[in-house]
Amino acid sequence: MDGEQRTNTRRTVLRAAVVVGALAAVRGLFPSGDGAPDAGPRQPSPAPESSAAAAGPPPSAEQAGPASGPGPYRLRPMAGETSRSGPGTSPPHPDVAFQLSTDSREVFLTFDDGPHPAYTPDVLRILRRHGARATFFVIGENAVEFPGLLRAIADDGHAVANHTWSHPQLTTLPPGAVRSELGHTSDLIEDVLGTAPDLARAPYGDWDEPSLSICNALGMSPVGWAVDSQDWTMPGAGNIAYTVLDQLRPGAIVLSHDGGGERGQTVEALAWYLPRLLDEGYRPVRIEP
């Protein structure tokens, strides 16, 4: 091992130690959504990214036919980027954005599976405190229960995007069901906010040609991720924070979750790593089509 490799190894070890140590202090300071102190990092769980409840969109929408062939997608991803996280993840598709071109140190924080009445307000408070913007990929079944949280997300200047109605793996569904999952959620968002979403993310990052065609026909650009925080595995807040800091680069889209399970670790990690990203010159912004 040469001198430069030894230096990089020492830097990595020290950075991980700093993250874990600082998070111990954060746990005592940052309250959880119900007003009680957060209990701190929990034991890792092997469970994958959780889906919402099983009830689907209205049966009448299931009868819709497939979309017409895809036209030009609004977002143009950088070539060669991949998204390989979560169960069932498909190979990278050239029309899905994993990282966006930028002339500055912009990064794109995204939060999936909400809104959640406890964790979404916590995430919003942290982002607001630091003047950061993000993109929230919401589940229709959750959004219909908490429309006020959709308004809170939009009122804070964040983007509200489509993550299907009930979080199925789109590549296992017939075209009519895909159209229903995406279309019903877009209709709900438009009803609540007055504007339909122009971004969508497939559960598990799993797109295929029919689902991409339907996404495009509904006026949305497909979005993946370049950095998976791994918060869906519940590895501990320190591991989540270190993963984001270690893998971040300009233009990267970062995957995290504000719903779909217990997300106290995500909140705790965000409270620690977000000011560090700002200190390093990064600027978290929302994804714009």
Which run of H or of E encompasses 108? strand 106-114
In this prediction the pTM is 0.73
Which run of H or of E encompasses 76? none
Residues 141, 184: Cα–Cα separation, whole Å? 10
Q: Are 26 and 145 in contact (CB under 8 A)?
A: no
Predicted confidence at residue 89, as pLDDT, reads 43
Higher pLDDT, 199 or 289: 199
Is 112 noted as a catalytic residue in this protein? yes
Predicted confidence at residue 103, as pLDDT, reads 80
Residues 224, 51: Cα–Cα separation, whole Å? 17
Predicted confidence at residue 102, as pLDDT, reads 83
Question: With bands split at pLDDT 50, 70 and 90, how would you rate the model's confidence at 65?
Answer: very low
Does the structure show a pLDDT above 80 at 64? no
Give the pLDDT mean for 17-32: 47
Predicted confidence at residue 8, as pLDDT, reads 46
Predicted confidence at residue 160, as pLDDT, reads 98
DSSP, res 57: S
By C-alpha distance, which of 241, 269, 212, 225 is closest to 86? 225
- Collect all residues with Cβ–Cβ distance below 8 Å to 183 and sequence separation of at least 6: 57, 61, 64, 218
Q: Which amino acid is at 192?
A: V
By C-alpha distance, which of 236, 222, 232 is closest to 269? 236
Residues 168, 171: Cα–Cα separation, whole Å? 9
Predicted confidence at residue 269, as pLDDT, reads 98
pLDDT more than 90, % of the chain: 63
- The answer to which of 88-97, 123-132, 193-202 has the lowest mean pLDDT is 88-97
Q: Are 211 and 178 in contact (CB under 8 A)?
A: yes
By C-alpha distance, which of 189, 196, 218, 213 is closest to 96? 213
C-alpha 12 chain-centroid distance: 25
Q: What is the pLDDT of residues 129-171, one digit of tens each?
A: 999 999 999 999 999 999 999 999 999 999 999 999 999 999 9
Facing residues of 200 across strands? 162, 222
From 112, 122, 198, 258, the catalytic residue: 112
pLDDT more than 70, % of the chain: 67
134-138/227-228 β-pairing: unpaired
Is 38 noted as a catalytic residue in this protein? no
Residues 195, 232: Cα–Cα separation, whole Å? 30
Residues 218, 1: Cα–Cα separation, whole Å? 53
Q: Are 91 and 103 in contact (CB under 8 A)?
A: no
Predicted confidence at residue 11, as pLDDT, reads 46
From 116, 167, 184, 257, the catalytic residue: 257
Of 65-74, 86-95, 245-254, highest mean pLDDT: 245-254
Predicted confidence at residue 101, as pLDDT, reads 83
**Number of Cβ within a 10 Å radius of residue 99:** 23
Q: What is the pLDDT of residues 163-218, one digit of tens each?
A: 999 999 999 999 999 999 999 999 999 999 999 999 999 999 999 999 999 999 99
Predicted confidence at residue 22, as pLDDT, reads 52
- Collect all residues with Cβ–Cβ distance below 8 Å to 41 and sequence separation of at least 6: 23, 27, 236, 237, 238, 265, 268
Widest pairwise Cα distance in the chain: 66
